[in-house]
């Protein structure tokens, strides 16, 4: 699980460059950043709702529980349906929204523990066993790399 800033930087950059959006197309850039980060709103909801529990057990290593089914395959399906509905009106927007959202979901699957078939099945999967410290390092590296790539993108070097 990455930080929202790391998701916003990496997933939106991948969506924009894959959909061939130009740096002056501000609307698509805003849509990409929102699509790449809006998913993390559900963490806020669960962290507020279950704050007493998190005060007891601590936040590190527990945030995979503070998420809704939208962080799983169900969310990917919902983003796919939204993208399919947007496609006839604006194919580029449909691509940007879906790819940004899908990259965020895939990043969280790859970097942490999840129940990807929730709410239908609660089986947990774990791609990697990174510690909280290692996740912070991955986060920082992601922000540095994609910060550089965003700079190149915005000055038109990509």
Partner 1 sequence: MDVIPGRPAVASPYRAVLAALGQRLVLPKVNPVYYHLLAIFLSVLFLYAQESWIQIAIVGAVLMTDWLDGATAKRYWQPSRAGYVIDVVTDRASEGFLFAGASGMLSGQVLFLLWLINCGLTFYSVRSNRHTAMPLRFAYLIILAVQGV
Segment interacting with partner 1 (CB under 8 A) among 29-37, 43-51, 91-99, 140-148: 91-99
Residue from the set 32, 36, 39, 99 that interacts with partner 1 by CB under 8 A: 99
Q: Give the 3-state secondary structure of the chain.
A: CCCHHHHHHHHHHHHHHHCCCCCCCHHHHHHHHHHHHHHHHHHHHHHHHCHHHHHHHCCCCCHHHCCCHHHCHHHHHHHHHHHHHHCCCCHHHHHHHHHHHHHHHHHHHHHCEECCCCCCCCCCEECCCCCHHHHHHHHHHHHHHHHHHHHHHHCCCC
Q: State which residue, 123 or 131, has the beta carbon closest to partner 1.
A: 123
The only residue of 3, 4, 17, 62 in contact with partner 1, by rule CB under 8 A:
17
The pairing of strands 113-114 and 125-126 is antiparallel
Of 43-72, binders to partner 1 (CB under 8 A) are none
Smallest distance from the beta carbon of 20 to partner 1, in angstroms?
10
Q: Return the range that interacts with partner 1 (CB under 8 A); candidates 26-34, 49-57, 115-123, 147-155.
A: 115-123
> With binding defined as CB under 8 A, does residue 83 bind partner 1?
yes
Among residues 3, 1, 2, 28, which one has the least CA distance to residue 13?
28
**Using the rule CB under 8 A, which residue among 1, 8, 103, 143 binds partner 1?**
103
Neighbours of 65 (CB within 10 A): 14
- Minimum CB separation of residue 14 from partner 1 in Å reads 7
Does 73 bind partner 1 (CB under 8 A)? Our answer is: yes
Give me the residues that bind partner 1 (CB under 8 A), please: 14, 17-18, 73-74, 76-77, 80-81, 83-84, 87, 91, 94-95, 98-99, 102-103, 105-106, 109-110, 116-117, 120-121, 123-128
């Amino acid at each position: 699980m990455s930080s929202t800033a790391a998701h916003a930087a990496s997933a939106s950059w991948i969506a924009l460059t894959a959909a061939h959006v130009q740096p002056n197309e501000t609307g698509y850039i805003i849509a990409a950043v929102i699509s790449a980060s809006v998913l993390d709103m559900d963490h806020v909801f669960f962290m507020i709702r279950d704050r007493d529990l998190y005060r007891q057990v601590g936040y590190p290593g527990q945030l995979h529980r503070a998420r809704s089914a939208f962080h799983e395959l169900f969310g990917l399906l919902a983003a796919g349906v939204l993208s399919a509905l947007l496609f006839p009106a604006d194919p580029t927007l449909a691509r940007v929204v879906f790819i940004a959202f899908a990259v965020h979901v895939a990043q969280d699957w790859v970097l942490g523990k999840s129940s990807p078939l929730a709410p239908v099945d609660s089986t947990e999967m774990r791609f990697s066993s990174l510690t909280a410290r290692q996740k912070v390092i991955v986060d920082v590296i992601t922000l540095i790399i994609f910060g550089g790539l965003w700079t190149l993108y915005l000055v038109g070097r990509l």
